[in-house]
């Protein structure tokens, strides 16, 4: 049982959104931006922006598109809130399913 609780705790931490991630998601609701543009608008380092964008991508809250504007890079944009919530719910269901499967295997073995 302890392993199950640890797995659940670890999975739920993945879903935590900090203030910076919320600000980035909100900004991307209105326009598509590069990490550098986001950093300038929010007055935070580009390194922090890239780290937070990676987490938002993992959660499925934002998407990115490769662009060639004389330079290769990504522009990021937010999924609409309804689509983002559905993505989070799907991911949470997968986590719960994995925990149930692990629990069932542990009970058998």
pLDDT (tens digit, 9 = 90+) per residue, 37-84? 999 999 999 999 999 999 999 888 999 999 988 889 999 999 998 888
Quick one: how far is CA 73 from the chain centroid?
A: 19
Residues ≥6 apart with Cβ < 8 Å to 78: 25, 26, 28, 29, 61, 62, 84
Domains belonging to the chain, first-starting first, are 2-108 (1.10.10.10)
Query: Is residue 11 pLDDT above 70, yes or no?
Result: no
Query: Is residue 24 pLDDT above 90, yes or no?
Result: yes
Structure tokens at 100: 């149930």
* Residues 39 and 50 sit within 8 Å (Cβ to Cβ): no
Query: Is residue 9 pLDDT above 90, yes or no?
Result: no
């Amino acid at each position: 049982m302890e392993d199950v609780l640890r797995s659940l705790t670890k999975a739920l931490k993945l879903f935590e959104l900090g203030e910076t991630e919320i600000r980035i998601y909100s900004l991307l609701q209105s326009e598509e931006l590069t990490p550098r543009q986001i950093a300038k608008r929010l007055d935070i380092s580009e390194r922090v922006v890239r780290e937070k964008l990676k987490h938002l991508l993992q959660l499925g809250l934002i998407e990115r598109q490769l662009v060639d504007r004389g330079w290769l890079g990504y522009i990021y944009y937010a999924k609409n809130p309804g689509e983002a919530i559905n993505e989070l719910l799907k991911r949470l269901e997968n986590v719960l399913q994995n925990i149930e499967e692990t629990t069932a295997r542990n009970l058998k073995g």
